[in-house]
Amino acid sequence: MLDLNAHETAAASALLTRARVIAVLDDDQVIIDCERHGTSVLCEQLRTSEQSGLALAPGDEVMVWISPLPLDTGVILGRVGASHGSVPAADANNELSDELVIEAKKNLTLKCGGGSITIREDGKILIKGKDLVSHAQRMNRIKGGSVSIN
């Protein structure tokens, strides 16, 4: 029979707190430093989808749930604020991926200052900027049903 008092005591001693990432291990586990708890804790990441988890780096501040049981791992619920590491589009070994796919249903826009590139659902691509420069080491081909210059 389940002893509710023991269960309630264990639940009450669980800790939800902020912590700092010390190291990110190869198997997607993370070691955090929990100053309030006075210890380092091995944690797993909470995953809310099939996509990879947070790209964490040492120094990142995270919200973590720490189990009251000494052999259990903690669970990182999310990062608090921006990452302290440079986080490129990378695989688990922190190497650049061969391909990066960003997908949107209607429009996808990249903006920086006064320039932008917009890809629309109908296939139209809009490139806007103060000046547009095209460089090619080999052939620079402009091909279309019709080409209008000025």
85 has pLDDT over 70: no
Residue 17 lies in a domain: yes
Residue 45 lies in a domain: yes
- What integer best gives the mean pLDDT of the chain? 80
Residue 34: its pLDDT value, please? 82
- For residue 54, what is the domain's CATH number? 2.40.50.140
Q: Could you identify the residue written with the tokens 């080999």?
A: 138
Number of domains in the chain: 1
Among 38, 33, 39, which residue's Cα sits nearest to residue 58?
A: 33
92 has pLDDT over 50: no
Residue 63 lies in a domain: yes
Q: Residue 8 gets which letter from DSSP?
A: H
Q: Could you report the per-residue pLDDT of 25-51, keeping only the tens digit for each?
A: 877 789 999 876 678 888 988 887 776
Domain limits at 20? 4-79
Q: Residue 49 gets which letter from DSSP?
A: S
Q: Centre a 10 Å sphere on the Cβ of residue 19 and count the other Cβ atoms it contains.
A: 27
The C-alpha atoms of residue 11 and residue 40 are separated, in whole angstroms, by 20
